[in-house]
């Protein structure tokens, strides 16, 4: 089982729609959770961070965390063509691996006009 | 200054060369990271420095040698690399481990 798994892509949504990205993780003592966006040829940039159960909203983005189910999601409302990128879920380890941030394989999102 | 600066942006080296990648941040961050990213793959953690001490080494081959001269600088020394080591090498920093990572633009390495 991979440490961090994301829903298989690619994901294609029309402009203005909601894009839903999902991620599960295997380490129950994980403490921090992030969504990064990466455009082709560029480095990852932070979209959202979340540390406790529940929802966190920032503009068009909402992150949801459920530690009991070991599940993190990202919703993008009113998707724009500029949102087309690879979205990476990242999970920060606790315990003996404190400081280790592991990325999922990424989900390619395409928003078409 | 909210940037992580990596040099060089591009590096081409032969398998017998010795070269170094450099990373600098002036945000007062105390954790610094090296990641390796191959095309269409996620970043893979190589090393973590926390408060200038190596805290995580993800079983990286010894031909990669990290160095943290001070809290603002991180180097990756390269020696006797293989063509399969060609990748984008990303440096990142965070206020402390598990906090948000800020990535540099990366150094694209090609090994001939």
A16/B58 Cα distance (integer angstroms): 41
Q: Which residue of B has its CA nearest to A5?
A: B42
B82/B94 Cα distance (integer angstroms): 30
pLDDT number for residue A7: 84
A91/B89 Cα distance (integer angstroms): 20
Predicted confidence band of residue A97 (pLDDT cuts 50, 70, 90): low
More confident residue, B86 or A93: B86
Cα angle B56, B59, B9; round to 5: 80
A72/A24 Cα distance (integer angstroms): 6
Chunked in runs of 10, what are the mean pLDDT values of chain B (112 residues)? 90 93 94 94 93 90 96 96 96 82 95 94
- Residues A7-11: what's their mean pLDDT? 85
What do you get for the CA distance between the two ends of chain A, in Å? 37
pLDDT number for residue A93: 80
A32 to B98: CB separation less than 8 angstroms, yes or no = yes
pLDDT number for residue B88: 97
Q: Is A88 on the interface with B (CB under 8 A)?
A: yes
pLDDT number for residue A95: 64
- Give the nearest partner residue to A44 out of B43, B45, B99, using CB atoms: B43
pLDDT digits 0-9 by tens, A12-53: 999 999 999 999 999 888 889 999 999 998 999 999 999 999
pLDDT number for residue B97: 64
Helix (H, G, I), strand (E, B) or coil at A93: coil
User: Which one, of A20, A45, A86, lies nearest residue B41 by Cα?
Assistant: A86
Residue A8 predicted with pLDDT over 80: no
Chain B CB contacts of A88 under 8 Å are 42-43
Token pair of A77 as six digits = 């409302």
CB A73 within 8 A of CB A54: no
> Shortest Cα distance from A14 to chain B (angstroms)?
23
pLDDT number for residue B98: 64
Predicted confidence band of residue A98 (pLDDT cuts 50, 70, 90): low
A32 to B99: CB separation less than 8 angstroms, yes or no = yes
Q: Considering only A34-38, A73-77, A91-95, B82-86, which range has the smallest mean pLDDT?
A: A91-95
Q: Which residue of B has its CA nearest to A93?
A: B98
Q: Is B50 on the interface with A (CB under 8 A)?
A: yes
- Cβ neighbours, 10 Å, residue B97: 24
B105 to A44: CB separation less than 8 angstroms, yes or no = no
- Tell me which residues of chain A, numbers 52 to 81, contact chain B at a CB-CB cutoff of 8 Å: none
pLDDT number for residue A96: 62
Q: Which residue of A has its CA nearest to B104?
A: A43
């Amino acid at each position: 089982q991979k440490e961090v798994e994301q829903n298989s892509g690619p994901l294609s949504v029309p402009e203005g729609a909601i894009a839903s990205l999902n991620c599960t993780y295997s380490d129950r003592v994980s403490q921090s959770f992030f969504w990064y966006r990466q455009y082709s040829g560029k480095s990852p940039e932070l979209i959202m961070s979340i540390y406790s159960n529940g929802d966190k909203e920032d503009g068009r983005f909402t992150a949801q965390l459920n530690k009991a189910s070991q599940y993190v999601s990202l919703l993008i409302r009113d998707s724009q063509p500029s949102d087309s990128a690879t979205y990476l879920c990242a999970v920060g380890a606790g315990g003996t691996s404190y400081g280790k941030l592991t990325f999922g394989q990424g989900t390619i999102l395409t928003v078409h006009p | 200054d909210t940037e992580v600066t990596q040099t060089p942006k591009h590096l081409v080296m032969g398998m017998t060369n010795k070269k170094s990648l450099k990373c600098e941040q002036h945000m007062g961050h105390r954790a610094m990271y090296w990641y390796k990213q191959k095309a269409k793959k996620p970043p893979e953690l190589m090393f973590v420095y926390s408060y200038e001490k190596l805290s995580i080494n993800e079983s990286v081959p010894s031909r990669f040698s990290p160095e943290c001269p001070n809290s603002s600088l991180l180097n990756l020394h390269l020696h006797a690399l293989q063509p399969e080591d060609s990748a984008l090498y990303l440096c990142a920093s965070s206020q402390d481990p598990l906090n948000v990572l800020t990535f540099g633009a990366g150094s694209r390495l090609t090994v001939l």
